[in-house]
């Protein structure tokens, strides 16, 4: 039986611990302690060293009670966006939010506590289940870095759930592929007041959020524009990326200045990195039918849907794991208005519990 007070207490405790990306050390130590007290074997990898953080990803293993049951993976991330220095929680009935000076961190501590509660009940009530593997990743909010540096060869599970999206009783089966783009535009510096005509403004050449320039009285010689493209379609992603590349190159080509030593032309350098691949899980996939069956057994409505955001599921799916992203109750994420309805956490924990139970019945 799910214990609402236990979920509430644990969520309030974890949400009160600041854990912005690369600064997850304090919450990681607490999570390790909780997992060990639950009977898990716990390991921490070296991802933190690779990304310049305080800790690595946590991998916890719970031994199954049904030897022939397939193992199952459950995953969430430890880090949050900012501001999240001094978190002051406020509770109004079942609604938890902050004093609006920081984020709440329900993204993704709502997922973590739902996973923990489901596992506790499985073990307390001796519900048959296969081995359970839990990944709590770092630096999800800064480009899925923890998941990218996690060695999935250490896992036995080939099926599972990431808990990391807003809503409840919904399963994300489609999420975009994304490219990270960087355009470095180089013009020519000149005094902005005395002889601006001898310069080529790198800012004038492009539009967008930019970084660069040397001083207010110098025509800026170099600016960097960072952005990204996302699409549920790889073909559309590449077409949009190429369109943006061409627009920058055309803009730079229009600007030139003739000086005593000859013509000087603006130029642009383009860097494109694949940020993550798309998530595309069929509605007929076993993990989807398991979650659908769990929701139905609990008398809950259920649907699959697409999202415009990536998650660790995008990384794990490219490594051969059948995985989808389960909604876990977070709302208005990445804002100081973020809130969680504790009843949604109880529902999510119940769905996870029932999904793992049904997985143990699968061939």
The residue among 168, 95, 90, 108 whose CA lies nearest residue 340 is 95
State the Rg of the chain over Cα: 24
Distance CA 146, CA 57 (A): 6
Hey, which residues are catalytic here?
Answer: 79, 140
Distance CA 328, CA 310 (A): 15
Q: What is the end-to-end Cα distance of the chain in Å, rounded?
A: 26
User: Which residues is 89 bridged to in the sheet?
Assistant: 98
């Amino acid at each position: 039986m799910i214990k609402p007070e236990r979920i509430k207490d644990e969520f309030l405790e974890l949400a009160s611990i600041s854990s912005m990306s690369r600064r997850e050390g304090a919450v990681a130590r607490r999570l390790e302690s909780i997992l060990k007290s639950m009977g898990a074997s716990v390991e921490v990898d070296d991802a933190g060293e690779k990304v310049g953080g305080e800790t690595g990803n946590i991998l916890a293993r719970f031994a199954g009670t049904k030897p022939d049951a397939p193992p199952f993976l459950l995953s969430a991330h430890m880090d949050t966006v900012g501001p999240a220095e001094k978190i002051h929680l406020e509770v109004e009935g079942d609604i938890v939010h902050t004093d609006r000076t920081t984020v709440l961190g329900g993204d993704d501590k709502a997922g973590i506590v739902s996973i923990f509660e489901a596992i506790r009940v499985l073990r307390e009530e001796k519900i048959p289940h296969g081995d359970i593997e839990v990944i709590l990743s770092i630096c999800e909010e800064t480009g899925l870095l923890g998941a990218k540096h996690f060695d999935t060869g250490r896992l036995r599970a080939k099926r599972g759930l990431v808990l990391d999206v807003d809503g409840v009783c919904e399963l994300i089966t489609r999420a975009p592929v994304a490219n990270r783009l960087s355009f470095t535009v180089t013009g020519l510096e000149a005094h902005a007041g005395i002889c601006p005509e001898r310069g080529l403004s790198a800012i004038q050449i492009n539009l967008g959020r930019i970084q660069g320039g040397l001083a207010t009285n110098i025509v800026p010689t170099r600016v960097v524009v960072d952005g990204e493209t996302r699409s549920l379609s790889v073909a559309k992603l590449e077409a949009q990326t190429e369109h943006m590349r061409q627009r920058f190159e055309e803009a730079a080509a229009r600007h030139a200045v003739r000086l005593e030593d000859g013509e000087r032309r603006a130029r642009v350098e383009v860097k494109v990195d694949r940020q993550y691949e798309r998530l595309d899980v069929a509605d007929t996939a076993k993990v989807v039918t398991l979650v659908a069956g769990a929701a139905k057994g609990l008398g809950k409505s259920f649907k699959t849907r697409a999202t415009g955001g990536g998650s660790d599921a995008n990384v794990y799916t490219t490594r051969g794991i059948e995985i989808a992203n389960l909604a876990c109750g977070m709302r208005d994420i990445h804002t100081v208005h973020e809130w969680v309805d504790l009843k949604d956490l109880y529902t999510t924990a119940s769905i996870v519990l029932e999904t793992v139970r049904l997985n143990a019945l699968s061939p």
